[in-house]
Structure 1
Amino acid sequence: MTMGFDVAVVGAGISGSATAYELALRGHKVVLIDQYGPAAMASGWTLAGVRQSGRHLAEVPLAKRAVELWQDLAERLDGSTHYRQVGNLRCARDEGEVQRIRAVVAEHEEAGLEMKLLEGAAVRDAVPVVSERVLAASFCPSDGHADPSATVGAFVAAGERHGVVTRFGERVEGIEVRAGGSKSVRTSAGRYDVSQVVLATGVHGNELIAPFDLRVPFEVMSATMLRSVSTPGEPLPVIGVANGDTTLRQEVGGEFRFGGGHETWDGQAQYDPRPQVRPTTDSVLRILESVRSLVPMMANVRVDKVWCGLIDQTVDALPVIDVLPEAGGLVLATGFSGHGFCLGPVTGQILADLAEGRATELPIDPFRLSRFNSHRGHSTPVELHG
């Protein structure tokens, strides 16, 4: 079976589903393909923070624009996102982390982002549940969080209403580039002839570009995630720490979602039919102790679910958003390093621009694949604020 479309988008996480939706709005005939289904991988596993704070400065313009888009995203999609703009508190537990928090606040204020530095008792005045061991914290009031599965589902449904054809349960097996630039996407169920391909494939980002002798240098990491039963109380800001290894936020139904414990993935997963990655007992115990130390009330919260999220962690912790001339000009978005969820709405617009062959309004030069040609030095730690 062969079908023709303008654009094939591979990967139905938030980046891919937002791209398909945006292209359909612009009048393109789009097919959205995923071997599992919407939000089956990172976009469903994430903590789903919607934050600007604590990012590399190269990402801040994208994050600021994304937060603007999040304000009325649910209305535009005519679906649920459960977005809450409750702020983000990033805590320092020792003097080294205090210095890091101070530097982040100064750097982000200079970039035009509203942030506050809280020290000593001012931290607990702002958020009383935080442990007394926290010496200082940054607070960004315009940050927040959303529901990852609901948001991706809303993008998919809105895309379908605008003509996006979804093909879930199909594995993309290869991409052929023809003379003149047209392309063919071969899947386990057929073939799609298209003018352009957008790959938003997360931890599978290298599989389909390898035949073109291309590779994004990332490591697949796992992050232990837990969710509690519903717990009553006033909504809290997203609460994290300076080194990014512990983050806590409360879902709209009152459940806490919290995580950390990132480590190199051992490749073990179960398929039911979607991939299920189970954390080790040691990683669960570490994150339980870490979050209890940060927010003592969590010691009495009952845990409802435990899982691992997989992270496509690049060596500099920045994504690749690029057009690949070596692969016939196909568009690639991968390597978001655990903090791509917030960017999803604006990533979709950027990828749609690139698929149309247009310059994008926002600066994306720092995200070119070619930057790795001269990259030297140590890997940047993963962040877990979504």
Structure 2
Amino acid sequence: MESGRIVIVGAGQGGFQAAASLRQEGFRGEIVLIGDETGLPYQRPPLSKAYLKTGVADELELRPAAFFEAHDITLVNATRVEAIDREGKAVVAGDRRFPYDHLIIATGTRNLRPPIPGLERTVDLRTLADAARLRDHLAGPRRIAVIGGGFIGLEFAAVARALGHTVTVAEAATRLMARVVSPEVSARFLDMHRGMGTEVLLGQPVAEVTETGIALADGTVIAADMVLLAAGVRPNAELAAAAGLTVANGVVVDTQLATADPDISALGDCAVFPDPRTGRPVRLESVQAAVDHARTIAKRLVKGSTDAYAAVPWFWSDQADWKLQIAGLSSPEDDSVLRGDGAVLRFDGDVLTAVETINDGRTHMQARRLMAGDAPLTRDALAPLDYDLGPLMKASRGR
């Protein structure tokens, strides 16, 4: 498919990358990129870190307006798509219809809103507008409560504490970032945040958000002038479901990010695809995964590539002066091996699933390169090396 009309719903990192990659692969037809926010597509990860400190929104833009003009990409912003007409091959936004020859769904996620009374009193951190409001809140001394001890909540807590605010983090699980990191890494970050002066309460679900703060399930009351809700996200898959596409914790796609409808693909945080290692359905909340998905779809549509998406997932989180990096994808129940330098290797049985590092870019890159190989890395191969990836890297270069 080198011509025709491709419509992309969602102008985040994945949607933008899909448009850019289509042009890079030689697509000569029309590209329409539809987003529900105003302005140009921008990076979200810095919203909870650098932007809160600087407030410089222009630095977040993925590309200037001239890029879209030069590459003949029609950007339709401040527009919410309300329906997909699969029979008529068009998406509908109010009284506007956007016909397509192929549709790419890149609708991402939204903040999860658990059934807690008083959530209308909380603030979110999902969009640039959210972050701008938060910066205003942080202008003077505040008592801040954060609901959720995941990446976003902890990144925000670190920034707020460094600015001198009083911060309490309430996490319902028994450890921080429990869904994505090992107990060993959770413990290190707990010590770091407490060392900064942040109060961290674990195993404490929030029962209510009140006018004066939060109340926990055990009756503890935390006074707060501002409450940030950072309790996770859920995929924006309702548009796909209403159109009759298969949805199960996201838009279900195959190994090439194609839905059961040959004219529709899905990518990024809203897409559920087979894990290349296990075949189990997974959904990744990762900028890099969205970018890799977009490239896979562009090659399939323009070049007819049959390559499956098989990139090694990787994630990162900047909290204070610590950079957490994760190569691979582990489950909470995976075994952990803690190296003397602080790196943690995760194993599902004998197979390496992930490597977690803090301020150790060298080991992180070694892990990504080795895990991208044809054969899985095993405990039996790594244990005699004291789990040092260096010798395996040298051996791979020699082959």
Shorter-chain-normalised TM-score: which range? 0.3 to 0.5
TM-score normalised by length of structure 2? 0.39
| CA radius of gyration, larger in | 2
